Structure 1
Amino acid sequence: MSKPNLNFPLTLKQCRVIREIMKKGTEKEASSSLNLSQSSVSRSLSQAEQALQVDIFTRGWSGAEPTSAGEVVISSCNSILQAISDTECQLQSNVTALLKLKTYVEWRHLLIVEAVVKVGSASVAAQTLGMTQPAVSKTLKEIENMVQQPLFSRARRGLIPQAAAKQLASLFLRISPVAQSLQHSLQSLPNELTGRLSVGMLSFSCQDIVPIAFASIFKQHSGIRLQAMQGPYHMLANALRQGEIDCFLGLMRKGPIHPELIEVPLLPAQYALIARADHPIHNDAKTLNNLVNERWIVARHGTPIRDYFESLFHSIDNKPPIQALEMLTFASSEELVIHSDAIALLFYDDWNIKQLNPRLKQISIPLPNPECTIGITLHRERQSAIIQTFIEELKLTIKHKSPSTQL
């Protein structure tokens, strides 16, 4: 045999690929960093996942994101590669040439060095490993080139290990148990929900229920990776279609813009005009016509709340104000109202309007058809147990917050 029978689930190249994908976020960036072709990186990752029988990464909002099993794999890879890097730093102090240990070393190099250190003979090590002596000698030459210093000196009684060989043998004995225990670590993962839950939140959404639902899931299912991000509708819809997120929350529209998406209603809400509590508008304004010349804080174009804002002024035969400040978050809009003379068009469920910040006050002008609905948008064909768990937690959160408002 020309190669030893190694009982390691991952090659060191695969460890390097996995770590670099984690660091860079994409296979393309990892391939550039490692100076490998993208096909080589993709193949290494695929072979690693097949060997371990787990998915290491899933496609996410910002690129490749580790699964729960992937977190275990990445932790092992980091431990192994850090130990190799530390050893290279120690060996580098002996020579001026740049070493290449952490870039090219593989298990067979370390295994053979450790075997020769143990038995003091290349021929005996070859027999022990089921290899030919020329194959052992060639491998020793390869790793000597990586560390730019001799590993053994010859004596009548065999090969005498030098300091570099002893360090490499010690390295092998430290990292091989980490690699060999990886599959057991994966099999020992708790038998519970695992994976990723990535939730998008539309601007101006009632986002207070998401952290509460997340906290409950976090307590019950330690194997779920939780993510939340905010963005406009089209961005989140495309991310959902591409599998980068699992769902998103916000004001429902008149049907999703993509046929593969569906909406599930969660919570009734209503549009409301909000101003600073001591704003003179509360005494001066009686109808919408009195608000035409005010400064406004609104959601961006293309959102249901912006459409409603413009419809208000069309209903009184007025053009919507041109000078309107667009804000992306609910909290920042309320804060801006508090510190300015602007009026905001926002939406609240019954509980939140009753808990309105005391520095804010709803303008008592009746609005036409102010009812709206907060819902969750899902992919028609990708609805997992994790997503269903999240929806149930959202419903429980709404029920506990305001028992009478759940749909």
Structure 2
Amino acid sequence: MNNTMVDFPLTLKQCRVITEIMKKGTEKDASVSLNLSQPSVSRALSQAESALQISIFTRGWSGAEPTSEGEVVISSCNTLLQMMTDTERHLQQNVSSLLKLKAYAEWRHFMVIDAVVKVGSASVAAQALGITQPAVSKTLKEIENMVQQPLFLRTRHGLMPQEAAKQLASLYLRISPVAQALRHTLQSLPNELTGRLSVGMLSFSCQDIVPVAFASIFKQHPRIRLQAMQGPYHLLSNALRQGEIDCFLGLMRKGPIHPDLIELPLVRAQYALIARADHPVHRYAKTLNDLTNERWIVARHGTPIRDYFESLFHSIDNKPPIQALEMLTFASSEELVIHSDAIALLFYDDWNIHQLNPRLKQIPIELPNPECTLGITLHRDRQSPLIDTFIDELTLTIEQKLALA
């Protein structure tokens, strides 16, 4: 087919692939849903990204996640496919067998049927499109098989379009402008920070400052996609190394577990023993030895706070309690302390300890070396203006917060 055929930035197959990857989360699952091989799906996505000169998806925490430009592409693809679905639903009313328009139609099918509807002749349509008449006839047969009903009635005056052909030609007039506008829409995107910022959070860490920083970024840079998720250290470290997240926050250790990762300190904090405000422990506990028989709420094994908890009991030649209750979030730990007789080992910065829930109270026992540091872990080779912006917002949020302490 020569240049008289309309040039669309994406094929309809590519639109189907892009939409299905978004729905399923992976190319593998999309290939199963579309009944295509995984290499075919990967190739279609790669060709689409090459044609548009953008990245449509990035690797994310739960699979393929769209970039900011990808969101625009996906929206366009969804619109096209939804209009095809609506037309197919109308055509389905005329036949009992399942139609295959949305699954298999390509631009050439719509262009041919539109041309034949306009001129009433396969040969004239072929000439207008710059293709052969057999190619037009073959294409009409293909789409007729997709919709399972006649498209044209042959008369002495040429080919008379039937209702199905009219609906398909009308569909083409509606979807072609949407497809052709995609490149212009992408080129017209404002010149501002875009992309995905995916932040991991270790248990007990930074839940009060990340939302504030996110809100500020969202207000200033509305085209950034913001994500936050919680997980254990090794899981977040692997996700960061693989590019599934951009950074993660939490208590700093004695150094990252992999040379690809670096740590930046954000705010100083300190470990604290917390109990219910009316707990009897506040009256009799003077040293750690007075707490050996208490029930404890602590973070999971392998975390700095759990290591510190065990070191406390080793420092008084005592074994750590084996029935300690492990909690995964700061809020749930505080809530459990309020509603139980358990004691929690938590950590607070200056602001949070001054703003402690009035139903809670710090046990006034001096702890050895209680200082700890909250920080952000980054990939050494994957810095970006977006991550720099996030760090700046975190730093400002912390400064404003501590100024109120």
Q: Per-residue deviation at 1:5?
A: 2.6
- Name the residue aligned to 2:218: 218
Aligned to 2:61: 61
Percent identical among aligned pairs is 82
* Secondary structure of residue in 1 paired with 2:325: strand
Could you list the per-position Cα deviations for residues 331-368 of structure 1 after superposition, in whole angstroms to 9, with x for gaps in the alignment? 00000000000000000000000000000000000000
Partner residue in 1 for 2:48: 48
Q: Distance in 1 between matches of 2:220 and 2:321?
A: 49
Partner of 1:77: 77
Equivalent residue letter for 1:143:
I
Instruction: Give the Cα–Cα distance (whole angstroms) in 2 for the partners of residues 239 and 172 of structure 1.
Output: 43
Structure 1 residue identity aligned to 2:29: E
CA shift at 1:85, angstroms?
A: 0.8
Q: Distance in 2 between matches of 1:78 and 1:175?
A: 11
Alignment of 1:264-283 (within 5 A): 264-283=264-283
Q: CA RMSD of the aligned region, Å?
A: 1.1
2:159 aligned with 1:159:
yes
Give the distance between the partners of 1:96 and 1:55, measured in 2 at CA. Answer: 41
CA distance in structure 2 between the aligned counterparts of 1:343 and 1:183, rounded to whole angstroms: 60
The answer to whether the Cα contact below 8 Å between 1:2 and 1:135 also exists between their aligned partners in 2 is no
Q: CA deviation at 1:97?
A: 1.2
Aligned to 2:353: 353
2:92 paired residue number = 92
CA contact (8 A) 1:2 1:132 kept: no
Offset at residue 206 of structure 1 (A): 2.8
Equivalents in 2 of 1:77, 1:197: separation in Å? Answer: 24
Distance 1:134 1:2, change over 3 A: farther
More moved, 395-404 vs 269-278: 395-404
Q: Per-residue deviation at 1:297? A: 0.3
Q: 1:176 to 1:268 in 2, by over 3 A?
A: same
Which stretch of the first structure deviates more once superposed, 139-148 or 118-127? 118-127
Q: Equivalents in 2 of 1:321, 1:390: separation in Å?
A: 40
Letter in 1 for 2:233: Y
1:176 is the counterpart of 2:156: no
Q: Which residue of 1 aligns with 2:133?
A: 133
2:194 aligned with 1:190: no
Q: Which amino acid aligns with 1:370?
A: P
1:9-57 CA distances to partner (integer Å, 9 max, x unpaired)?
Answer: 0000000000000000000000000000000000000000000011000
1:304 maps to 2:304: yes
The whole-number CA distance in structure 2 between the counterparts of 1:68 and 1:3 is: 32
Cα pair 1:266 1:374 within 8 Å, conserved? yes
The amino acid across from 1:91 in the alignment is L
Contact 2:261–2:379 (CA under 8 A) maintained in structure 1 = yes
Pairing 1:120–2:120 present:
yes
Q: What is the distance in 2 between the residues matched to 1:100 and 1:141?
A: 13
Q: Deviations over 1:138-174 (max 9, x none)?
A: 0000000000000000111110000000000000001
Alpha-carbon contact 2:28-2:38 (below 8 Å) kept: yes
Match of 2:327 in 1: 327
**Match of 1:28?**
28
The answer to whether the 8 A contact 1:4-1:108 is kept is no
Residue 240 of structure 1 aligns with which residue? 240
Residues 4, 154 of structure 1: alpha-carbon distance in 2 compared, 3 angstrom cutoff: same
Give the match for residue 258 of structure 1. Answer: 258
SS at 1:234's partner residue? helix
Shift of 1:223: 1.4
Q: Secondary structure at the match of 1:402?
A: helix
Amino acid of the residue matched to residue 156 of structure 2? R
Change (3 A) 1:359 1:339: same
Structure-2 separation of matches of 1:2 and 1:246: 45
2:185 counterpart letter in structure 1 = S
Amino acid at match of 1:156: R
Deviations 1:206-243 (A, max 9, x none): 32110000000000111110000000000000000000
Aligned to 1:97, the other structure's residue is in SS state coil
Cα distance in 2, alignment partners of residues 4 and 273 from structure 1: 77
The one-letter amino acid of 2:242's match is Q
CA contact (8 A) 2:152 2:162 kept: yes
Letter in 1 for 2:298: V
Q: Give 1:4 deviation, angstroms.
A: 5.9
Deviation at 1:99, TM superposition (A): 0.8
Structure 1 4/38 Cα, relative in aligned 2: closer, same or farther at 3 Å?
Answer: farther
For structure 2, the residue ranges without an aligned partner over 5 or more in a row are none
Corresponding residue of 1:397: 397
The one-letter code matched in structure 1 to 2:402 is S
TM superposition shift of 1:3: 8.8
Distance, in Å, in 2 between the alignment partners of 1:157 and 1:61 is 61
Conserved in 1, the CA contact under 8 Å of 2:351 and 2:404? no
Q: In 2, distance between residues paired with 1:2 and 1:144?
A: 24
Q: Show the counterpart of 1:341.
A: 341
Equivalent residues of 2:4, 2:128 under 8 A apart: no
Distance 1:403 1:302 in 2: 33
Q: Following TM superposition, where does structure 1 have runs of at least 4 consecutive aligned residues deviating by more than 2 angstroms?
A: 1-6
